[in-house]
Amino acid sequence: MDRGGCQLSGGGGGGGDGGPESGMITLEDLESFAEDQVPDSGNGSLEDETGTMEEEEGRLLHYWQDVARGHQVEVPQDMAEPIQQLTTNNHGQSDRERVPFSLLTHKEKCGELLYEKRHYEKAHWACITVQEDTYEQSICYGFMRLMRYICQQNSLGDYLGMTLPILTIVRTDENQSVISRNVTVAYYLPTQHQAQPPQPLDSEIVIEVWPATVAYTRPFTGPTNEITVIGQISTMAGVLASPGVCVNDSFIVAGYTNPAHSNRQNEIWFLERR
């Protein structure tokens, strides 16, 4: 697997061949798995609790597998425990730490937010660069590898905590019309782990220190495939007064909500040149 840098300063991979919707299967996918679908705790015996946990893991795994089939992605059996851990430890977006930033300025037109200019401090991110047959597959498989790291496959052997947004770093050609198939998926280390990031057991996951940077961000809703990402890049370039101040061949798609949701919340980020 090819691995490359993915700093906010403009490094990273990119996506390619897009499908009808983003392939990133995030924690929000599980929010439609209603609480009343999860088995109760039985009569309290150790045997019943063990059986219930195994049943819950199995049902959540099957749900993820059903979602993934729509993106031609196979969720392996060993994802059952990470999926269950993420579900147990998170109960809504309010429980997930947001990547901190300072708002520098923003631009509106007729009440519509065109973009925000933000400052992000230097921070540690866990990154993995993947190249699969499609953009969706690359994001899916990259995020599943990060899930294992977040849940237990780290030097602490413990759950690290979920953060938002999950970032996808994409590269384009010089005309910004074609996205590379290399996709870098990145996870912000929670504040409590920033000083001493737990090391991944997966050698393809790299802990990187991303330098402080300025990002121009624009919100958009709906799916994030190759066509929509290219469209959002074009739109963002059109609303910026001086797009030349930004990196012109590397961009970030920030995902906040379930890719299957009809009103999915995303952002496109342009990075200011250093």
pLDDT tens-place string over residues 54-96: 777 777 777 666 766 665 667 767 777 776 776 666 555 556 7
Of 63-77, 225-239, 255-269, the poorest mean pLDDT is in: 63-77
Q: What is the pTM of this model?
A: 0.75
| pLDDT at residue number 225 | 79
Total residue count of the chain as it appears in this document: 274
**Residues in a beta bridge with 213:** 120
pLDDT higher than threshold 60 for residue 103: yes
Identify the sign of the CA torsion 70, 84, 57, 82: positive
**For the chain, which domains are there?**
99-271 (3.20.80.10)
Q: Write down the residue that tokens 């579900």 correspond to.
A: 87
